[in-house]
Structure 1
Amino acid sequence: MPPRLLITGSRTWTDRAVIRDALRAWWDSTGRDPEAILVSGKCPKGADKICEEVWAHNGLTLELHPAKWRTPDGKQDMSAGYTRNKAMVDTQPDHIIAFIMDKSGGASHCLRYAKGKGIPFTLYEDSTSTT
């Protein structure tokens, strides 16, 4: 089974270099497995978007989990992001990298849920790293 990396991050994240370096470091740790998979929530801006662009640029596989913000009857589902986060974590990735600005609620939720499942993680807050 190929290694799987889940990323989560703030919509306001803009530091492309930190993301590029973090993804490269994780990919290097897999022995540069060409089948490595990036699991992402497909937010159209911020960390998700940047991670997806960097990953795709290197010809690697994306597994996208966009939130379903509208119910079948057209109502807005305010918990869709949290539901999506749980679904991504429940795919049992090997590692999670979180890029969190200003204590982003959605990305912080995803990281907390992953930590509760015992998934190893790396956290970048406002461009600084902790593990």
Structure 2
Amino acid sequence: MNHLRVLVTGSRTWQDTDTIHNALLAAWTDAIEADYDGITVIHGGAAGADTIADEWARAHRSDGVQVKKYEADWEGPCTSTCPPGHRKARRGGTEYCPFAGHRRNQQMVDTAPVVLAFQHAGSTGTADCIRRAEKAGALVRRWTA
């Protein structure tokens, strides 16, 4: 199947489902008109915009919509580019890598030529993904709340 990969990035506090649904419907329509079989919705698996996009994609599977989730590996090992001593502590004694979200954002950006960004209250994770997408030359469409 020839699907257009569409990355949805957005704030965990985004609640406007209609805006995301309409943006995804427009992306799907554009893809069909451009002779794609449908779209694959890419997202990071977080609450808010990602969850809304995931639910929309799953509800439209019969229309040629697929979904791919890229979750950040917060507790996993760091990479060679991580500075020594940068891990942060969580309650309960576990540690996490604060750069895991950035690595995940880059992985998603590397796969999608179209990015739909839903930023609420200046979300820094969404801003990071937008910067990466623009640097990669992706088509970025933005909504703010």
Which residue of 61, 74, 94 corresponds with 2:66? 61
Q: 2:37 and 2:49 mapped to 1: Cα distance?
A: 22
Most deviating of 64-73 and 4-13 = 64-73
> TM-score, with normalisation over the residues of structure 2?
0.80
> TM-score, with normalisation over the residues of structure 1?
0.88
- Matched residue SS, 2:95: coil
| Number of positions where the alignment pairs a residue of Structure 1 with one of Structure 2 | 124
The aligned amino acid for 1:57 is A
Distance apart, 1:35 and its partner CA: 3.9
Structure 1 residues 61-86: Cα deviation after superposition (integer angstroms, max 9, x where no partner):
11110000102596311111111001
Q: Structure 1: which 5+ residue stretches go unaligned?
A: 127-131
Alignment of 1:101 with 2:120, yes or no, is yes
Q: 1:54 and 1:71 mapped to 2: Cα distance?
A: 29
Task: Write out aligned runs for 1:49-128 (5 A).
Answer: 49-59=51-61, 60-72=65-77, 75-91=95-111, 93-126=112-145
Identity %: 31
CA contact (8 A) 2:114 2:139 kept: yes
Match of 1:8 in 2: 9
Which entry has the higher C-alpha Rg, 1 or 2?
A: 2
Distance apart, 1:114 and its partner CA: 0.4
- Matched residue SS, 2:32: coil
CA-based RMSD: 1.6
Structure 1 residues 7-59: Cα deviation after superposition (integer angstroms, max 9, x where no partner):
1000000000111111001111111744421111011x100000000111011
Structure 1 residues 84-125: Cα deviation after superposition (integer angstroms, max 9, x where no partner):
00111112x120000000110001100110001110110001
